[in-house]
Amino acid sequence: MKSRTESIHVTFVRTEDLNAAERTSIVDLCIAAHQEEDFKNLFSYIPSGGRHFLASRGDELVSHAVVTTRWLQPEGQPILKTAYVDAVATLPAYQRQGYGSAVMEHLAKNISDYEIAGLETERPAFYERLGWEAWRGALAGRSEQGLIPTPGQEGIMILRLAGTPGINLDGMLTIECQEGRIW
């Protein structure tokens, strides 16, 4: 029997290979799904180096997620090359039809060169169903000045990959501070 997501075709495009129309579609899709105008700056935040996973229906882009490289460090482990997922979005009219799951399943199969995956979300149940695990321990950013605790931060999740070492979800998890954001 076919699974719900099997018939949905997902493509993988690097940021530098996206044309102008595709960039516009991705930005419009993220704004429509998240009701967040800041997504108009998505390609300033990700000028290159992202892996975009795209699901379409006919000619219309309906779902998207992007992976960029970040650096998580679970307590007691080295810094891990991390597939950090952002801009997960499905057009409102097409939600709850399996597109988001198909995008995330395809993404998980195309990051085997990473040591772990991570993301921040307000919808943990959606990702838990797909094998992601909520971080339970303390969280902090790593800066040149040292650790910046982020005690109010919720919704940090990780996905174990083939190369992920044994990690303790109750330990501390840190990430390199980026300009404008920690998580």
Ligand X SMILES: CC(C)(COP(=O)(O)OP(=O)(O)OC[C@H]1O[C@@H](n2cnc3c(N)ncnc32)[C@H](O)[C@@H]1OP(=O)(O)O)[C@@H](O)C(=O)NCCC(=O)NCCS
Please give the residue ranges that form the binding site for ligand X (CB under 6 A). Answer: 4, 33-34, 63, 88-90, 95-101, 121-123, 125-126, 129
**Closest approach of Cβ 88 to ligand X, in Å?**
5
Cα 135–Cα 136–Cα 141 angle in degrees, nearest 5: 65
- Residue 170 CB, nearest approach to ligand X (Å): 23
CB 73 within 8 A of CB 105: no
Q: Which is nearer to ligand X, 24 or 77 (CB)?
A: 24
Q: Which is nearer to ligand X, 88 or 140 (CB)?
A: 88
Give, in order, the Cα–Cα distances in Å from 98 to each of 33, 68, 77, 95, 103: 15, 23, 35, 7, 9
Compute the least distance from the CB of residue 30 to ligand X, in Å. Answer: 8
Which is nearer to ligand X, 36 or 75 (by Cβ)?
36
Nearest distance from residue 183's CB to ligand X, in Å?
11
Beta carbon of residue 124, minimum distance to ligand X (angstroms, whole number): 9
With the C-alpha atoms ordered 28, 30, 33, 35, is the resulting torsion angle positive or negative? negative
- Closest to ligand X by CB, 63 vs 82, is 63
- The tokens for 151 are 């005690």
- Residue nearest ligand X (C-beta atom): 100
Rounded to whole angstroms, the Cα distance separating 66 from 57 reads 19
Question: Is the torsion defined by CA of 24, 38, 140, 147 positive or negative?
Answer: positive
Residue 89 makes CB contacts below 8 A (sequence gap 6+) with 29, 30, 32, 33, 34, 63, 64, 65, 100
